[in-house]
Structure 1
Amino acid sequence: MFTRISSAFLILALAACGEPKADTKVLAKAEAEQAVAAAEDGRVQCAPGGAKAFARVCEIERAESDGGLVLTMRHPDGGFRRLLVASDGRGVVAADGAEPAVVTLAGADEIEVALGDDHYRLPATMKAAAR
């Protein structure tokens, strides 16, 4: 009987507390920091092959070339795309292949890059993060 009474008291106490309200600015900042950290870890959100949803499953390899910094985006299935970080403010361009990279802003500090059916979300500070 004591267990039932203490359980009932615990439930009433929790109900009285209510749920804490989330601060959206704090959450947005934490998500942005996690995205930059993941990109520095070599992982970014992508939707390869026309996937409907983005997931943090693509790996990035960075290499310096005569043309500048080359990012190789590796898909979970073994496919890949190469992007060249542009020095003229465009963000990135296709490093090889016939399909051009289409770059759009996806947020204050993020760009979305589309190469055919493959889509990537990169921090807008990728150049700084790569150093």
Structure 2
Amino acid sequence: MILWFTLVQVIVAAAAGLLCIILGLAGRRPSDLSVGGLALLELLLIAQIVVAVVAPLVGNPPTGSLLEFWVYLVSAALLPPASVAWALLERSRWSTVIMGIAALAVAIMVWRMFAIWTVQIA
């Protein structure tokens, strides 16, 4: 994984998560703003999948558990579309909050993926 790209993903995920939670608690239903934040996050996760496939081929192999890394990555990539689908089916203020919680979970998962990729084996 690439540190700067990881930081961008974590910042975008945290910002989208906080925005959705604030909007939801303020009574706003899912809108282009809240769904757009999660769409941007999903694009970054798709780019991360490409990076994770290419990185070992160019000399940046993971030093941690590859299986654990891919489980985190696939799970993180599934969270934004699942939460948006749920929010669009149940258009309430709480579905916007759920999108925010999913985005914050992705931020934590991306940071954990970075730790798995760069773990130093003693």
Same structural fold, with TM-score higher than 0.5 when normalized by the shorter chain? no
Q: What TM-score does the superposition give when structure 1 sets the normalisation length?
A: 0.25
- Highest RCO, 1 vs 2 (Cα 8 Å, sep ≥ 6): 2
Q: Which has the larger radius of gyration?
A: 1
Normalised by the length of structure 2, the TM-score is: 0.27
